[in-house]
Amino acid sequence: MNVLLIRHGLTQGNLERRYIGAGTDEPLCEEGIRRLRLLRVPPVARVYVSPMLRCRMTAEILYPTIRPRIVPDFRECSFGLFEGKNYAELNGLPAYQAYIDSGGTCPFPGGESQAEFRSRCVRAFSDLLPELRAHSSALIIHGGTIMSILDAFAQPHRPYFDWQIKNGEGCVLDLTDYSVKFLKDE
């Protein structure tokens, strides 16, 4: 059985390269909606989504006839003090430099650590595995959530940041051997 992992469509914050996490519940922008309407996705029986508006909107566009199940722990990371800001606004701040110097592993000031975030996402995915194996399913989630799941499960293993997926793109994770195929490659 396969599970489809799709990153939500573009938001204005994504276009502005901002840290848009659990603290910003913004909608898709017009460009994001337009791109999603062009995306061809395989049919599925079930859809699971992050509670964030951008994911729920993406699910509605891609699978309008399926009522999605909200999975609270699939929400994006809490970026704390970085929330809603971009590189230009954070550049020069000691806390931001410390985060950059850590390779993205130190906790976001006032937010989650990568370890906490990844653990939350992997636990939620693991809890769903029996359902995912029983039904063709799609997860409409965040880039970091996809990276966390693939880092923990995909074979062959690749580093966490190597699993980055663009907005409105996705991959298929085979739940028998945990191989990954990207939709853009099919």
Q: pLDDT (tens digit, 9 = 90+) per residue, 25-50?
A: 999 999 999 999 999 999 999 999 99
How are beta strands 180-182 and 170-174 bridged, if at all? antiparallel
Domain boundaries of the chain, sorted by first residue: 2-185
Which alpha helices (DSSP H) does 102-163 contain, by range?
114-134, 143-153
> What architecture is domain 2-185?
3-Layer(aba) Sandwich (3.40)
Return the half-sphere exposure (C-beta side, CA atoms, 13 A cut-off) of residue 18: 20
Cα–Cα distances in angstroms (integers) from residue 49 to residues 99, 109, 124, in the given order: 29, 27, 11
Local structure of residue 86 (DSSP, 8 states): B
How are beta strands 46-49 and 69-70 bridged, if at all? parallel
Task: Encode pLDDT of 53-88 as tens digits.
Answer: 999 999 999 999 999 999 999 999 999 999 999 999
Local structure of residue 17 (DSSP, 8 states): T
Local structure of residue 10 (DSSP, 8 states): P
Yes or no: say if 122 and 149 are a contact pair by the CB < 8 Å rule: yes
For the whole prediction, is pTM greater than 0.75? yes
- pLDDT attached to residue 127: 98
